């Protein structure tokens, strides 16, 4: 039986696990979080179940069905609080031929069968960042990566003040804990995601004083209908309550386009923001600045896919930095599939369709099989959606005009814009590795997850770097304690079934 490992239990991973089961594979589904659902279906914990959780989510019933089915299925092992921290080549990878087929796989060398993934996935299971999690190494036949994305927030003066959050943080706290990040909240950035965030905030008792989309109506209209609230439907619809809140949002909350938070003010916490109008390249227009009091600011300019695992697995990445996949969601590496936001920012419907295709093909199916024809069609329409998001909301270069010399670019190592530039100018370095080590930007504990793309843009423009280095490469995908590492399980025996071991 084919053994499929699915990493990430968001919409894409859930759909992949179900599809792989439907095709008869043994499945392990794991996620670093202790609940299934990923970013989209984040919900109150079992200690505090809500009678009307569905009101906050679109497709909640579908999620519950998927979860129930997987949890009840003895052929699917669901592993939560399971952090994948490394992926490495398996010892027997020498036996995979140039054509990607197994050369000498013993009884596994089935002629014509898809090649087995030659990788070992290292997992730590236990409380988040705990000191004595249990190590497991899994050597699947096929690996589906569905690790999703996180917010991309561009720096602006004051963005490091407490009270400035990513939009995703506001969403996570609202959905996961029913905590509103503030009472008077400004939401800003770019993309359709700002709208569900405003709706969730409103549904959690916060007053949203404005939603500011950086792009101007012309550009938005080119990608969307000129009615902003049409977008929320496109993102996969809010739940009934958020829909209700959205009604409120639509009538009561100013939605301003061509407008951005260009600074946050306060000494030890945010007290107010400066909002300015932007030109079509996101350059602030002089004279349009106005100050707005707020106790929380939620800013997001798009999403960055979580690429460390695909890169560790050796998957090819597109020039706009998503995982390259074929019609069956196969990556450039034999036996490795990718689905969801890591293959393009397309929202929940795309993630579900791609996940189902990936799971089906990983389990030995073909993208032309009738079982997944519906998903194959959905996959095509949703790629169009991803293109529209990028066309309407993609980041424009004028934003750097709102930086000043003291604005931190790298939050962890506290590298301000002025110093970043001065160091780059002084060394004349053309390599990203050297620029990171001389400026320290991106070397801190978040390992460039927050500032990486920004640093690349500020130091290299769009031309890239002479050393071809990217900030997305992180062979250690999450911090691991030295003692856990010292006890890491011994190299895997190449033969055999899914190896689930605790040393």
Partner 1 sequence: MSARMLPAGSDPIRPGPTAPVTIHVDGEPVTGAAGQTIAGIVLANGRLAWRRTSSDGRPRGLFCGIGVCFDCIVTVNGDRDVRACQRRACDGDVVSSQHDELPEVHR
Partner 2 sequence: MGYDVAVIGAGIVGAACARALAAEGLRVVVLERDAAASGTTGRGEGNLLVSDKGPGPELVLAQRAAALWPGTVAALADELGPDFPAVEYEPKGGLVVATTEQGAEPLAAFAQTQRAAGVDARVIGVDDALALEPHLARGITAAVHYPEDAQVQPVVATEALLASARRHGAEVRTGVEVTGALRDAQGRLRGVATTAGEIAADRVVLAAGPWTGEISSRLGAHLPVRPRRGMVLVTTRMPHRVFRKVYDGDYFGATQSSDAALQTSSVVESTAAGTVLVGSSREQVGFDDRMRVEVLRQVAAKALRLFPFLSGASVMRAYGGFRPYMPDHLPVIGADHRLDGLWHATGHEGAGIGLSLATAELIAAGIAGRAAPIDPSPFSPQRASLAPHLAEEAA
Ligand X SMILES: Cc1cc2nc3c(=O)[nH]c(=O)nc-3n(C[C@H](O)[C@H](O)[C@H](O)COP(=O)(O)OP(=O)(O)OC[C@H]3O[C@@H](n4cnc5c(N)ncnc54)[C@H](O)[C@@H]3O)c2cc1C
Q: Among residues 180 and 339, whose Cβ is nearest to partner 1?
A: 180
Least CB distance to partner 1 at residue 503 (A): 20
Q: Among residues 244 and 465, whose Cβ is nearest to partner 2?
A: 465
Max distance between CA atoms of the chain, in angstroms, equals: 74
* Beta bridge mates, 30: 7, 79
Our finding on whether 180 is near partner 1 (CB under 8 A) is yes
CA neighbor of 99 nearest in space, from 114, 120, 110: 114
CA distances from 388 to 210, 223, 224, 348 (A): 24, 5, 7, 15
Site for partner 1 in 30-49 (CB under 8 A): 32-34, 39, 44-49
DSSP 8-state class, residue 428:
-
Least CB distance to partner 1 at residue 277 (A): 26
Site for ligand X in 193-222 (CB under 6 A): 193, 196
Our finding on whether 266 is near partner 2 (CB under 8 A) is no
Draw the binding track, 201-220, toward partner 1 (x: CB under 8 A; -: no contact): --xxx---------------
Draw the binding track, 204-243, toward partner 2 (x: CB under 8 A; -: no contact): ----------------------------------------
Spatial distance between the Cα atoms of 166 and 261, rounded to a whole number of angstroms: 13
3-state SS, residue 212? strand
Q: Please select the residue that binds partner 2; options are 465, 494, 498, 499, rule is CB under 8 A.
A: 465
Q: Please select the residue that binds partner 1; options are 30, 56, 317, 409, rule is CB under 8 A.
A: 56
Stretch that binds ligand X, among 8-16, 98-106, 323-331, 391-399 (CB under 6 A): 8-16
Spatial distance between the Cα atoms of 402 and 399, rounded to a whole number of angstroms: 6
Least CB distance to partner 2 at residue 415 (A): 11
Least CB distance to ligand X at residue 112 (A): 31
Our finding on whether 120 is near partner 2 (CB under 8 A) is yes
Give the total of residues touching partner 1 (CB under 8 A). Answer: 62
Identify each DSSP E strand in 372-473 by its residue range. Answer: 408-410, 415-416
Query: 439 near 416, Cβ under 8 Å?
Result: no
Radius of gyration of the chain (CA): 23
The interface partner of residue 46, options being ligand X, partner 1, partner 2, none and the CB cut-off 5 to 8 Å by kind, is partner 1
Least CB distance to partner 2 at residue 33 (A): 19
Q: Are strands 207-213 and 303-305 parallel, antiparallel or unpaired?
A: unpaired
Dihedral sign computed on CA atoms, order 182, 186, 192, 196: positive
Stretch that binds partner 2, among 3-11, 220-228, 372-380, 423-431 (CB under 8 A): 423-431
Identify each DSSP E strand in 266-407 by its residue range. Answer: 272-277, 290-293, 296-300, 303-305, 336-338
Site for partner 1 in 129-168 (CB under 8 A): 129-131, 150-151, 160, 162-166, 168
Our finding on whether 351 is near ligand X (CB under 6 A) is yes
Q: What six digits make up the tokens of 40?
A: 């989209």
Query: 391 near 192, Cβ under 8 Å?
Result: no
Query: 471 near 446, Cβ under 8 Å?
Result: no
Q: What six digits make up the tokens of 426?
A: 């002084």
The interface partner of residue 51, options being partner 1, partner 2, ligand X, none and the CB cut-off 5 to 8 Å by kind, is partner 1
- Backbone phi and psi for residue 27, each to the nearest 5 degrees, phi listed first: -125, 140
Binding site residues, partner 2, CB under 8 A = 86, 88-89, 120, 122, 129, 131, 312, 314, 413, 422-423, 425-434, 437-440, 443-445, 447, 465-469, 474-476, 479-483, 485-488, 490-491
């Amino acid at each position: 039986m084919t053994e499929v490992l699915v990493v990430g239990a968001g919409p894409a991973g859930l759909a992949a696990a179900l599809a792989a089961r439907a095709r008869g594979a043994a499945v392990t589904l794991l996620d670093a979080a202790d609940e299934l659902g990923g970013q989209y279906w984040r919900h109150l914990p079992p200690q505090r179940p809500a009678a009307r959780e569905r009101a906050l989510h679109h497709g909640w019933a579908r999620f519950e069905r998927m979860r129930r089915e997987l949890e009840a299925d003895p052929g699917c092992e669901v592993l939560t609080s399971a952090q994948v921290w490394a992926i490495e080549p398996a010892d027997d990878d020498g036996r995979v031929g140039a054509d990607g087929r197994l050369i000498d796989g013993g009884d596994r060398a089935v002629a014509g069968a898809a090649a087995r993934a030659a990788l070992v996935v290292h997992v730590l299971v236990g409380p988040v960042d705990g000191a004595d999690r249990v190590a497991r190494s899994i050597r699947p036949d096929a690996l589906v990566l569905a690790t999703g994305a996180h917010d991309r927030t561009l720096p602006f003066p004051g963005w490091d003040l407490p009270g400035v959050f990513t939009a995703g943080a506001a969403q996570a706290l609202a959905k996961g804990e029913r905590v509103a990040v503030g009472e008077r909240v400004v939401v800003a950035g770019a993309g359709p995601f700002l709208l569900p965030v405003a709706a969730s905030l409103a549904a959690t008792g916060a007053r949203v004083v404005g939603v500011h989309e950086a792009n101007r109506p012309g550009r938005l209209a080119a990608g969307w209908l000129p009615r902003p609230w049409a977008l929320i439907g496109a993102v996969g619809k809010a739940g009934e309550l958020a829909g209700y809140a959205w009604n409120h949002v639509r009538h009561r909350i100013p939605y301003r386009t061509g407008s951005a938070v260009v600074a946050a003010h306060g000494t030890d916490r945010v007290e107010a923001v400066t909002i300015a109008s932007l030109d079509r390249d996101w350059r602030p227009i002089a004279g349009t600045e106005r100050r707005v009091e707020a106790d929380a600011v939620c800013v997001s300019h798009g999403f960055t896919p979580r690429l460390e695992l695909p890169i560790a697995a050796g998957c090819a990445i597109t020039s706009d930095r998503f995982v390259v996949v074929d019609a069956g969601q196969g990556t450039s590496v034999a036996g490795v599939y990718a689905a969801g936001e890591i293959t393009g920012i397309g929202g929940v419907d795309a993630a579900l369709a791609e996940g189902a295709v990936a799971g089906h093909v990983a389990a030995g199916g073909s993208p032309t099989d009738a079982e997944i024809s519906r998903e194959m069609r959905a996959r095509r329409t949703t790629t169009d959606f991803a293109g529209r998001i990028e066309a309407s909301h993609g980041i424009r270069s004028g934003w750097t005009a709102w930086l000043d010399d003291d604005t931190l670019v790298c939050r962890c190592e506290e590298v301000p814009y002025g110093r970043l530039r001065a160091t780059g100018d002084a060394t004349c370095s053309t390599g990203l590795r050297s620029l990171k080590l001389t400026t320290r930007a991106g070397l801190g504990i978040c390992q460039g997850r927050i500032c990486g793309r920004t640093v690349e843009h500020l130091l290299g423009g769009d031309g890239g770097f002479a050393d071809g280095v990217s900030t997305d490469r992180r062979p250690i995908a999450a911090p691991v304690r030295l003692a856990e590492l010292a006890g890491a399980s011994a190299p895997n025996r190449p033969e055999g079934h899914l190896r689930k071991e605790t040393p």
